[in-house]
Amino acid sequence: MRAVGEIRRPFAFGRRHANHAPMNIVFVLFDNVTQLDFAGPVQFLSRLPGSTVQIVSKDGKAVTTDCGFSIVPNASFADCRPADIICVPGGHGVRQAVGDAAIVDFVRQQGAQAKWVTSVCTGAFILGVAGLLQDKQATCHWAYTQLLPMVGATHKAARVVRDGNVVTAGGVTSGIDFALELIALIAGEDVARTLQLALEYDPAPPFQGGTPETTSPDVLHNLRARVYDRAAEQMEEALRDSGMVG
């Protein structure tokens, strides 16, 4: 019988192509999450052969997103089976989540026994306050990387960073890259390449400038001044107020 809150996805390869044990993939959601931090990697990881996906919130109820709609999980923390892969997305809601003992304790307990501990964007700070980034190299959204030492991590400038069984991704869209790299590590490069083709992931953005290094100084300055200078200050305040960092 299928466990509570478990989704099993069909996969075009069939089970004969799975060269790894089935995995329970757990995504931890909270209010004001950035939906693409979650939607990108779950679209790919849900097709990992033979695996199941649990989308969890504290009480199993819908969580709000930064796009004005909600996501309905399929499990609560209490219903969630042990994670083989735990993934924590980011969003402005991280500022509240790092001070929520139930969320932090759940991530700490699940992460302590998971095969892979992962995050996208500012979700890294939830891993951090849970003690899972201590002495690790990590990344997150470019506007917040200077705060990683507050949670014991060393920033490494890369779109996806792996340190042992901890894999962190940069901002938002990098979650897809992280998912493909993790699939390749678990199931092999052929599986990852086939999924990349199946989902037609072949980025060709209309403009150069998806990183601070490749965008114009004016665009970067204006965006920082309008959004991210204050957002980074608020994140720093939230981390200090969490009582989990020095």
Q: What is the CA radius of gyration of the chain?
A: 17
* Residue numbers annotated as active site: 121
Q: Which two tokens stand for residue 18?
A: 């799975």
Q: How far apart are CA 36 and CA 175, in angstroms?
A: 8
Q: How far apart are CA 211 and CA 226, in angstroms?
A: 17
Work out the angle between the directed axes of helices 174-187 and 35-45 (0-180°, nearest 10).
30
Phi and psi torsions of 64, nearest 5°: -80, 155
